[in-house]
Amino acid sequence: MSSTEKTPNINLYTTQTPNGIKISITLEELGIPYKPHKIDISQNTQKEPFFLAINPNGRIPALTDTFSDGQTIRLFESGSIMQYLVEQYDSVHHKISYPAGSRESYEVNNWLFFLNAGVGPMQGQANHFFRYAPEKIEYGISRYQNETRRLYRVLDQHLSTSSSGYLVGEKCTIADIAHWGWVAAAGWAGIEIDEFPHLKAWEDRMLARPGVERGRHVPSPHRMKEMSKAEMEKHAQESAQWIQREQAKDAKKE
């Protein structure tokens, strides 16, 4: 890696979700400037041509930057965006990453993929069956809530043995940041965080970081921690109506 870092010119396309705030928290932790653009999922902005040109998968987050060759780079998938940001902008001070090729750098990847391929998709399915599905399917709810609990137990057990209180080595890394928004939204999936004391302590430790506090409110206020159960249910009903309408539209396209 070069010892100098280039000047960022970052546009972040995001919305208030666990995957969106991963990126704003990463940027805030690194202390680099960026321009947030709110993507209005309820207006299907993520399916518009300008957005699909950045991410053909039609999902947030996505990010553009001016690359070292002077050309624009377009990135999607939160995990790959995080890897890009630390390689480009954290190669000198290693605030939230470890040197490329080090043992710790590969261990960070273990947990980054664990979140992106495990916790995120499974907790997302728990949200679907618990909050949004048009019919109540007990089996679907318990399958994905139980899998989320299992993954939380793996995290809880691992954190119980960590001397720093973070997932890898002696500091907070992108592995921790990737998890935070999902764990903070446990209640939305119907999971009681109190069942996982080490994970709960880690969640609070993360929240005490100024970068997390700033980044979690991008592009709009993060309200997961203050919503009551009744408020969550009201919000979920509104979301469910919209999601079911969109699914019906998508089904007609096939």
Positions that interact with another protein (CB under 8 A): 56-58, 67-69, 71, 73, 75-80, 83-84, 100-101, 103, 106-107, 109-110, 112-114, 116-118, 120-122, 125, 128, 133-135, 137, 139-140, 143, 151, 154, 157-158, 250-251, 254
Dump strand ranges (E) for the chain: 10-14, 34-38, 62-66, 72-76
| Cα–Cα distance for residue pair 117/119, rounded to 1 Å | 7
**Measured on CA atoms in the order 86, 91, 97, 100, is the torsion positive or negative?**
positive
Shortest distance, position 162 Cβ to another protein, whole Å: 12
* Closer to another protein by Cβ: residue 33 or 70: 70
Shortest distance, position 84 Cβ to another protein, whole Å: 5
Shortest distance, position 94 Cβ to another protein, whole Å: 17
Shortest distance, position 226 Cβ to another protein, whole Å: 28
Mention every residue, 6+ apart, whose C-beta is less than 8 A from residue 254: none
* Closer to another protein by Cβ: residue 101 or 221: 101
Shortest distance, position 38 Cβ to another protein, whole Å: 22
Q: Is 6 left (phi over 0), alpha (psi -120 to 50) or beta?
A: beta
* Closer to another protein by Cβ: residue 133 or 232: 133
Label residues 190-214 b or e (16+ Cβ within 10 Å = b). Answer: bbebeebebbbebbebbeebebbee
* Closer to another protein by Cβ: residue 151 or 209: 151
Rg (CA), the chain: 18
* Closer to another protein by Cβ: residue 80 or 220: 80
CA neighbor of 180 nearest in space, from 54, 68, 25, 16: 25
